[in-house]
């Protein structure tokens, strides 16, 4: 019926749909039958065809405090009226300093210098550039290479794609920067582990083998996500991150944690570093920092790194680090960040993740035995299923499952051969049951 179709398309013409080259989307499929979202409140979206859709991934791991929080709306509106933009270079506005300090209060001991960016990808590029420049400032200019990890996701810019370990993100783009990769930590003996798998710490020793080949004098930094998110929620094996830290210390290599997903609550602690008990030299954050309302990221460094730049900075009017973005510390983003971090504290949402995650774990693992489900992993309010590939088409079934969930009123993410959940920190017990049940039914409906 024409009226219903118009509503579902929000009156958009085919030309308008075609004009937007959508990111990480099957553009041809989407534009044939668009899934349009027109509003959001709490843990739900409203689709253009008028349905309530549960947000099973908190946006893109961004909106843990739920959508349309009045505190953030007010803070952002006030800020736009008062100071909509101010130049990011050589001039400042008070909120960036307030927010930087607030962030450092949530960081593990020692991470206390915050460089603002506009996204997770920019935060990663910043960390990689700072790592190289740091060694140069210390007179060790040969330390330029990076070590990432297979299945790592560090955003989509050159450095991040190079240290990243997801083939689909690398295959098309030719050379990046010089990087080698640790093996991922998914071992057959750890299938269906709840939380951190028991075995796998020995995989960190591969770093020793890499250094024996490449030599630490050529390596700037190791970068990993403490829990790999985009490849399908891969929690670190017990002892693994600690071993990486020890080897980096022994060989004088910086350790970078990419906490764009794990920062600010999703693990049940302020950071993955805190939850897993290992402190990196630099950390990248984004997403939950502003509850997804305004784009913003940051790289947080140990003071010694910052001090190295200051001490080797030359005359005081000179730039110690020629790097930054037009939208670094954007005043509206800072206002959103301050309001979001206030909500996390006031509503005790990080603690809430700890409280509700056991039920999430039990429900998610109840899907063991469902057809095509070949692994289940979880930590905090992050979880994923690996789905057996249809012949030659590893990503097909997860896509079909996600579409069936959407039809039933649930948004979940399909990524590669996985289905991923990142529930809002505000999730209710019944909502956990509902989304897992819908997921189970959707899988069972597959041919």
Residues that bind ligand PLP (CB under 6 A): 119-121, 124, 153-155, 225, 229-230, 258, 260-261, 286
CB of 224 vs ligand PLP, minimal distance in Å: 9
CB of 231 vs ligand PLP, minimal distance in Å: 9
> Which is nearer to ligand PLP, 258 or 375 (by Cβ)?
258
> Which is nearer to ligand PLP, 137 or 154 (by Cβ)?
154
CB of 437 vs ligand PLP, minimal distance in Å: 27
Number of alpha carbons in the 13 Å side-chain half-sphere of residue 253: 29
Measure the CA–CA gap between 35 and 37, rounded to whole angstroms.
Answer: 7
- When CB distances to ligand PLP are compared, the closest residue is 120
Task: List, in order, residues 6 or more apart from 228 with CB less than 8 Å away.
Answer: 149, 151, 152, 153, 184, 185, 234
Helix (H) or strand (E) holding 41: strand 37-41
CB of 13 vs ligand PLP, minimal distance in Å: 29
> Which is nearer to ligand PLP, 75 or 261 (by Cβ)?
261
Measure the CA–CA gap between 241 and 227, rounded to whole angstroms.
Answer: 10
Strands 297-302 and 282-285: antiparallel
CB of 407 vs ligand PLP, minimal distance in Å: 25
How many degrees, rounded to 5, is the angle at CA 272 between CA 271 and CA 274? 70
Give the tokens for residue 183.
Answer: 């093996």
> Which is nearer to ligand PLP, 200 or 422 (by Cβ)?
422
- List phi, psi (to 5°) of 211: -70, -35
Measure the CA–CA gap between 414 and 126, rounded to whole angstroms.
Answer: 29
> Which is nearer to ligand PLP, 154 or 404 (by Cβ)?
154
Strand partners, 418: 386, 415
Neighbours of 8 (CB within 10 A): 18
CB of 121 vs ligand PLP, minimal distance in Å: 3
> Which is nearer to ligand PLP, 118 or 200 (by Cβ)?
118
CB of 158 vs ligand PLP, minimal distance in Å: 13
Structure-token match 């998110």, residue found: 229
> Which is nearer to ligand PLP, 273 or 443 (by Cβ)?
273
């Amino acid at each position: 019926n024409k009226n219903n179709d118009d509503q579902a398309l929000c009156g958009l013409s085919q030309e308008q749909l075609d004009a937007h080259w959508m990111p990480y989307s099957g553009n041809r499929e989407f534009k044939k039958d668009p899934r349009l979202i027109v509003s959001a409140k709490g843990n739900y979206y409203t689709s253009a065809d008028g349905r309530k859709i549960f947000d099973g991934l908190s946006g893109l791991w961004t909106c843990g405090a739920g959508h349309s929080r009045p505190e953030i709306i007010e803070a952002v509106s006030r800020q736009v009226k008062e100071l909509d933009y101010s130049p990011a270079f050589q001039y400042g506005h008070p909120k960036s300093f307030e927010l930087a300090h607030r962030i450092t209060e949530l960081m593990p001991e020692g991470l206390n210098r915050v460089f603002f960016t506009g996204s997770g990808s920019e935060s990663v590029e910043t960390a990689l550039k700072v790592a190289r420049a740091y060694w140069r400032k210390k007179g060790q200019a040969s330390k330029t290479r990076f070590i990432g990890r297979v299945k790592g996701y560090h955003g989509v810019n050159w450095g991040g794609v190079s240290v990243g370990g997801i083939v689909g993100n690398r295959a098309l783009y030719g050379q990046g920067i010089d990087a080698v990769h640790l093996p991922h930590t998914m071992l057959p003996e750890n299938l269906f582990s709840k939380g951190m798998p028991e075995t796998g710490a020995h995989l960190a020793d591969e770093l020793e083998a890499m250094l024996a080949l490449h030599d630490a004098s050529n390596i700037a930094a190791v970068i990993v996500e403490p829990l790999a998110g985009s490849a399908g929620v891969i929690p670190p094996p017990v002892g693994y991150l600690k071993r990486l830290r020890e080897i980096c210390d022994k060989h004088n290599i910086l350790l970078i944690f990419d906490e764009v997903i794990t920062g600010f609550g999703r693990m049940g602690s302020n950071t993955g570093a805190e939850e897993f008990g290992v402190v990196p030299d630099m950390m990248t954050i984004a997403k939950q920092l502003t509850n997804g309302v305004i784009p913003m990221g940051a790289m947080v460094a140990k003071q010694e790194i910052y001090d190295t730049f200051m001490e080797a900075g030359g005359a005081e009017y000179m730039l110690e680090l020629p790097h930054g973005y037009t939208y670094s510390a954007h005043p509206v983003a800072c206002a959103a960040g301050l309001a979001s971090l206030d909500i996390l504290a006031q509503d005790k949402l990080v603690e809430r993740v700890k409280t509700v995650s056991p039920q999430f774990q039990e429900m998610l693992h109840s899907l063991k035995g469902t057809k095509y489900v070949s692994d289940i992993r979880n930590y905090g309010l992050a979880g994923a299923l690996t789905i057996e590939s249809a012949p030659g088409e590893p990503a097909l079934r997860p896509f079909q499952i996600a579409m069936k969930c959407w039809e039933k009123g649930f948004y979940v993410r399909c990524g590669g051969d996985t289905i991923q959940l990142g529930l809002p920190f505000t999730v209710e017990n019944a909502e956990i049951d509902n989304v897992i049940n819908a997921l189970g039914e959707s899988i069972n409906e597959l041919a």
